[in-house]
């Protein structure tokens, strides 16, 4: 795991926070195996609910080939 932020809910008590801009981030989930993979969403939003990701990706660690796909399709 890197420096990803997986829980934004502690920020909900900041009364002077009007706008939060967070850049895209990579959240590593470990190894994936099989033709169909389900991964638990690890990121919690300001309201304490899990956020809905836009993109997901997978990388072959031997070839370093990476694919990114839209999860909203």
Q: Give residue limits of the domains in the chain.
A: 1-73
Is pLDDT above 80 for 61?
A: yes
Is pLDDT above 90 for 63?
A: yes
Quick one: pLDDT at residue 2?
59
Reported pTM: 0.57
Residues 52-66 have a mean pLDDT of 85
- Residue whose C-alpha is closest to residue 61's, from 38, 35, 40, 32: 32
Is pLDDT above 60 for 1?
A: no
* Residue 9 contacts residue 45 (beta carbons within 8 Å): yes
């Amino acid at each position: 795991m890197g420096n990803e932020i997986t829980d934004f809910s502690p920020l909900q008590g900041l009364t002077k926070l009007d706008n939060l801009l967070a850049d895209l981030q990579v959240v590593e989930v470990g190894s994936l195996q099989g033709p169909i993979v389900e991964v638990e969403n690890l990121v919690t939003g300001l309201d304490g609910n899990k956020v809905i990701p836009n993109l997901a990706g997978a990388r072959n660690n031997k070839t370093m080939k990476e694919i990114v796909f839209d999860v909203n399709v």
